[in-house]
Amino acid sequence: MRQVWITKIGPPETLAVREAPDPSPGPKEVRIRVEASGINFADVMARQGLYPDAPKIPCVVGYEVAGTIDAVGSGVTGSRVGEAVLALTRFGGYSDTVVVPEALAVARPPGLAAQAAAAIPVNYLTAYQMLFGMAGIKRGDRILIHQAAGGVGLAAIDLCRIAGAETYGTASASKHEFVRSRGLDHPIDYQIKNYETEVRGLTGGRGVHVILDPIGGNSWTKGLRLLAPTGRLVCFGLSALSAGRERSILTTLRTLATIPWLQVNPLSLMSTNKGVLGVNLGHMWDQLEMLAGWLDQILTWYGEGKVRPHVDRAFSFADAPAAHAYIQDRKNVGKVVLVP
């Protein structure tokens, strides 16, 4: 099989294609011939040595794939061979062949192409966990979505529309037309405007009920100020650490210094009637029943036309460095995938 390896900590060029023996499925496992692998910002941070959950480098990352089952282990019905699936992989997804527990390989709905399928698991499960599993959004809630044009951002827009929530989203001006077409109510150009001021103006000073923030640092400080009473700040990343193609100790220290450590202690939160929630889908692997239930609901909504995975670009394995650079330069609108 062919795989894309992080050969060492560094810029995108440290990614390289290598050959390895095909894996064999064990008991209760299936083997998938991969047609598309999803890329997530956590992969970029792993390459930079900024993602603590990543395997020891050199390694193969990647959380999600779509393809076709071509072999099964003992305890799995042989009828699954030939089944088109999407799957969570918990690393190793940058491969043209993967082995996963049977429960993590879910049948693709009719008409769902492989590349679009690879755009669903991480993005939509993360958005679902944040909005429904933890923040408990309801009709009429005001939701601020940071990086609204990214994969998780577009997924959150879809789910907020289903819930009947009002959405505010930060995105560069060139992406506003697209995110409006996806249903975002209030796009905000964070590059030339103070989004905190803009949100206050758009909400008549009331603030928002929920903020989805993968940035961290000072962004979390602003978020706490923007929350209405009973509001929830959902933290699901720390992309502020990744300011360039390679990691910077100075950027790391500056980002850590701007985290609102004092404002998120229980006494401060109790005083302000606000909450801070943390989400890391990568730490949910032992909650297979819960994940399966969420994914089933997401795919049901897909069948109803309410969930619309969007793939911006597909890169070959050989072009994986360009794919990482494309994401780091904030060029993508939606998902970026690798194809073997």
pLDDT attached to residue 239: 95
Could you tell me if 240 and 216 are in contact, meaning their C-beta atoms sit under 8 angstroms apart? yes
Question: Which residues partner with 170 through β-bridges?
Answer: 188
In the block, tokens 């008409």 appear at: 111
Model confidence at 247: pLDDT above 90: no
At 175-214, the pLDDT tens digits run 999 999 999 999 999 999 999 999 999 999 999 999 999 9
Model confidence at 115: pLDDT above 90: yes
Name the pTM for this structure.
0.96
Q: Which helix (H) or strand (E) holds 63?
A: none
Handedness of CA 207, 208, 209, 215 (dihedral sign): negative
At 29-50, the pLDDT tens digits run 999 999 999 999 999 999 999 9
The DSSP 8-state label assigned to residue 89 in this structure reads -
Q: Is 132 helix (H, G, I), strand (E, B) or coil?
A: helix
Could you tell me if 129 and 279 are in contact, meaning their C-beta atoms sit under 8 angstroms apart? yes
Q: Distance between CA atoms of 335 and 314, rounded to whole angstroms? A: 9
339 Cβ neighbours under 8 A, 6+ residues apart: 35, 36, 37, 115, 314, 315, 316, 317
Q: Which of 34, 12, 13 is nearest to 23 (CA)?
A: 34
pLDDT attached to residue 244: 82
At 270-326, the pLDDT tens digits run 999 999 999 999 999 899 899 999 999 999 999 999 999 999 999 999 999 999 999
All domains of the chain in start order, with CATH: 2-120+309-339 (3.90.180.10), 122-281 (3.40.50.720)
